Amino acid sequence: MLKNEIFYIGMATMVLIILLLILLGYLIIRKTLEIKKTRILDKIKEDYQTILFNYLNGGKLSRELQTDTGVKKKAVEQLLGKFSELLEEKQIDDRLTAFAEQHLGNLYKKRLRSRSWSIRMNTLSYIDDFRMKSLLPLIIENLESASSSNEEKTLALRILASFQEPKLIGYLNRFSFLSDSDYRNILLRLDQKLFDLCVLNYHNGHENMKYAILDAIGLKKDLAYSSFLNHIFNSSQGEEKIRSMKAIVNLGYIKDPEQFIPLAESGRWEERMIAARVFGIVRDSHFIPLLIGLLHDQNWWVRSEAAASLLFIPGGREILSDISKYDEDRFARDMAWEWLHKGVI
């Protein structure tokens, strides 16, 4: 009986060892092939680098450059990727796009339908880099497809934005999975015309889209939207109101500062903080009493912002210095002291 069991245990050990050896063999072969492949790829890249650069610069293409094999295509793809980052001249860009369309277009068509998620993702980001407009129909197909992941859709939307494709706005309003930063990234790529269209469609969008539009206006610092922002500010509440205020502050031009006065009494600290900042931007000494009030706020951010604003207003520095010495409120005193003695900001 004992012999029998030792036999089984021996068998189990063998199986285990064979399993491990197979795994090891696989790993070694994989690594060897990969090292070899990388070496070949690097060699081709080295050879093609100057040829491709000369073509992009002067428009003349040497016959030595071919894209008949997979590895050559890969080399070209990586080189173009590098150039598209480094070179920003319009003419070079056009040549780069043309070259990519001609040599990689068909490959990318296939790859966009690949079953592997990562291949589709990589392809999308290269299409974006190379601005390959001919693939637009496939990208839209990908957007419409139920099986494509949210990450892919986000990338696809970015590409649509780069191409200034009007259909984009419909998609933006439809998809709600995009994060704030995705939205911003997309909106900031738009030209004036398409961005205006977004602003026109403001009220059809869902929350996140609205916030993103407001943020984007603030980042663009375009005064043309000043009255739009004021309108939103006066007609909205909550987060939307705060974002519109932030955008107004970012524009740096405040038409009617009086309307911010009630916010100094707001129940939300974010609103009080922005009010403090607005008063600082206006630099009007009749806001000083309000700022002194805000310097005694219970929220640290509000106090900090109020102190900073006081520092900018003529006569404010003296007031801060008085507060830092004589005020009864320790928190206000500390904050005033800190802003007066701040090192490099």
Partner 1 sequence: MNIISILGVLLGWFLVAYMVLVIGFYTVILLISMLQLRRSYHLDSKKLHEEYAHEVYIKPISILVPAYNEEAGIIQSVRSLLSIQYPVFEVVVVNDGSTDETLEKMIEHYEMKPVEKVIRRTLNTEEVKTVYQSDILPHLFLIDKVNGGKADALNAGLNFSNYPYFCSLDGDSILESDAFIKVMKPILDSNGEVIASGGSIRIANGCEIRHGNILNIGLSDNPLVIMQTIEYLRAFLMGRIGLSRHNLLLIVSGAFGVFSKQWVFSAGGYLKDTVGEDMELVVRLHRLIKEKKSKEKIVYVPDPVCWTEVPEEAKYLRRQRRRWHQGLFESLSSHRELLFNPKYGSIGFVSIPYFWIIEFFGPVIEFCGYLYIIFSLFFGGIYLEFAILIFLLSCLYGSVFSMAAVLLEEWSLRKYPKVSDIIKLFLYSLTETLWFRPLTVIWRMEGIWNIIRGNSSWGEMKRKGVSE
Q: Which residues would be at the binding site for partner 1 (CB under 8 A)? A: 2, 5-6, 9, 12-13, 16, 19-20, 23-24, 26-28, 30-32, 34-35, 81, 85, 116-119, 121-122, 125-126, 155, 179-182, 184-185, 208, 215, 219, 300, 334-335, 337-338, 341-345
Shortest distance in whole angstroms from residue 125 CB to partner 1 = 5
Shortest distance in whole angstroms from residue 308 CB to partner 1 = 13
Shortest distance in whole angstroms from residue 52 CB to partner 1 = 19
Shortest distance in whole angstroms from residue 155 CB to partner 1 = 8
Please say which residue, 260 or 308, places its beta carbon nearer to partner 1.
308
Pick from 258, 251, 299, 297: which is nearest to 279 by CA? 258
| Secondary structure of the chain in HEC code, one letter for each residue | CHHHHHHHHHHHHHHHHHHHHHHHHHHHHHHHHHHHHHHHHHHHHHHHHHHHHHHHHHCCCCCCCCCCCHHHHHHHHHHHHHHHHHCCCHHHHHHHHHHHHHHHHHHHHHHHCCCCHHHHHHHHHHHHHHCCHHHHHHHHHHHHCCCCCHHHHHHHHHHHHHCCCCHHHHHHHHCCCCCHHHHHHHHHHCCHHHHHHHHHCHHHCCHHHHHHHHHHHHHHCCHHHHHHHHHHHHHCCHHHHHHHHHHHHHHCCCCCHHHHHHHHHCCCHHHHHHHHHHHHHHCCHHHHHHHHHHHCCCCHHHHHHHHHHHHHCCCHHHHHHHHHHHCCCHHHHHHHHHHHCCCCC
Shortest distance in whole angstroms from residue 75 CB to partner 1 = 15
Please say which residue, 146 or 345, places its beta carbon nearer to partner 1.
345
Please say which residue, 51 or 119, places its beta carbon nearer to partner 1.
119
Shortest distance in whole angstroms from residue 62 CB to partner 1 = 28
Please say which residue, 122 or 230, places its beta carbon nearer to partner 1.
122
Please say which residue, 60 or 116, places its beta carbon nearer to partner 1.
116
Shortest distance in whole angstroms from residue 27 CB to partner 1 = 5
Please say which residue, 114 or 259, places its beta carbon nearer to partner 1.
114
Please say which residue, 10 or 289, places its beta carbon nearer to partner 1.
10
Pick from 214, 229, 158: which is nearest to 190 by CA? 158
Please say which residue, 168 or 178, places its beta carbon nearer to partner 1.
178
Shortest distance in whole angstroms from residue 151 CB to partner 1 = 8
